[in-house]
Structure 1
Amino acid sequence: MTSHLNARQTLRRKLRQARRSLTAQQQENAAHALLIDLPQRLVALSKTSNTSIQSVRKVALYLSNDGEISPHLLCEYFWQQDIQTYLPVINDKQLTFALYSKDTLWQENKFGINEPLTNDTISGHELDMVFLPLVGFDQQGGRLGMGGGFYDRTFANKKANTPPLLIGLAHECQEVKRLPIEGWDVPLQAILTPKHIIFP
């Protein structure tokens, strides 16, 4: 068990370094690449959860940190489509989600990451799609996060093929052949990279 956890920590350090080593230009190119054929990609994503893309009204994103691929252009796209966007807010050991707009006020959470300053939040299960940050992923839908377990606890009781659709966002350099998965790890239903869309 200890060696398994050590392997996860070693892999986490390696993959975090890989994404942090990307230049600002590479990061910007990757963010733009997420928009390529986005309407078609969203239709394909929605089919995995038997959800019409027209019925998607609430989408969660995140503020990029530590070399994570940035979803800021995805956010702009959703705003243009009149789709509400939400950001995670740490609530004890889980996440709730707060509406995100150009008028959002900010506070720093315990990790030094900005989150909306509001008590008006919704649960993760009220969302239609959640785009998750990750450290590593594999073709089986495995996700290696930063180690806090917030997303895993938030969606621990989520049933397969029910909303929200959990989509990992990542750079190609974050893919591994097979992640060392634990029982508490919540699997992704899709992974979106600048070049590919992967359905486990």
Structure 2
Amino acid sequence: MTSHLDPRQILRRQLRQTRRNLSSQEQQSAALQLSSRFEEYADHFHLTSGNRVALYLTNDGEISPHVLCADFWEQGIETYLPVVQGKHLTFARYSSETVWQENIFGIKEPVTMDYVSGEVLDLVLLPLVGFDSKGGRLGMGGGFYDRTFANKKTTEKPRLIGLAHDCQEVKSLPVEGWDVPLEAIITPTKTLFI
């Protein structure tokens, strides 16, 4: 029987399973290491009080930015979460008082009518399913980040940074024409500037 899945879909399934297989202890350790790795390059990202950073709530074994989020809150950096609106993302303020609802994918989103567009953000930390050393990236396949930032020029805000577990690195990924390039990819043990 022949599979009707393209190679990217097959790889996506394999990598998602790999990250789901990480224990809760491995996940927590990775989140702490990710925060330390980010701190090493904090000066490069020029984040200060009042800056706006989007991150995400973990789903499906993604590396968690929760330690980074706590650090941002301590520094007075505003944090935002993606909210699915049609085929694009908008972003809603995230705080300890955020009220939740589930979106069409079963992922929690803030309940608010006060959304901002991606252009007003300074930095966007986005989850990856897979990546390679040349900056190739593989997402969940919905294209939400790509559509949301399709018209972004490389030198414009926001800076796009991918986050992943080390086990999600592959030898090579094809770059598609619609893939919005990232500035960097950060894992618990490495930072790749692209």
1:34 CA drift (Å): 1.3
Q: 2:167 matched to 1:167?
A: no
1:17 CA drift (Å): 0.9
Number of matched pairs: 192
**Aligned residues with identical type, % of pairs:** 62
1:40 CA drift (Å): 3.1
8 A Cα contact 2:37 2:190, kept in partner = no
Residue matched to 2:35: 35
- Normalized against structure 1, the TM-score is what? 0.91
Of stretches 172-181 and 64-73 in structure 1, the one that deviates more from structure 2 is 172-181
Residue matched to 2:8: 8
1:10 CA drift (Å): 0.8
Which ranges in structure 2 are unaligned for 5 or more consecutive residues?
A: none
Matched to 1:27, the amino acid is Q
Q: 2:173 matched to 1:179?
A: yes
**In the TM superposition, what whole-angstrom CA distance separates every residue of 1:124-149 from its partner, at most 9, and x where no partner exists?**
11100000011001122222110110
How far apart are the structure 2 equivalents of 1:7 and 1:186?
20
Which of 81, 89, 99 lines up with 1:105 in the alignment? 99
Give the match's secondary structure for 1:35. Answer: helix
How far apart are the structure 2 equivalents of 1:33 and 1:95?
28
Matched to 1:18, the amino acid is T
8 A Cα contact 2:88 2:144, kept in partner = yes
Give the match's secondary structure for 2:30. Answer: helix
- Cα 1:38–1:10 shift into 2, 3 Å: closer
8 A Cα contact 1:68 1:133, kept in partner = yes
Matched to 1:131, the amino acid is L
Residue matched to 1:138: 132
Q: Give 4+ residue runs of structure 1 displaced > 4 Å after superposition.
A: none
Q: What's the Cα RMSD here?
A: 1.7
Which ranges in structure 1 are unaligned for 5 or more consecutive residues?
A: 47-51
